[in-house]
Amino acid sequence: MPSIVFIQANGRQDVLDVPVGTTLMHAVVAAGLDGIVGECGGSAMCATCHVYVGQD
């Protein structure tokens, strides 16, 4: 199971073990982390998921 490091704008880091096939939005919402609301359920219409993916 992949471990994903979520880095907030304030530098806080949270590491989640995310099953393969799970979206980042669903993983964050299920874990109750701040920063991603997921209002449209992942349809890419509300822009409440706004992430930057690092090169690594």
- Which residues in this chain contact ligand FES in the complex, by CB under 6 A? 25, 38-49
Closest CA to 49 of 31, 13, 10, 23: 23
| Closer Cβ to ligand FES, 15 or 45, answer by number | 45
Least distance in angstroms from the C-beta of 10 to ligand FES: 21
Least distance in angstroms from the C-beta of 29 to ligand FES: 8
Distance CA 21, CA 23 (A): 6
Least distance in angstroms from the C-beta of 27 to ligand FES: 12
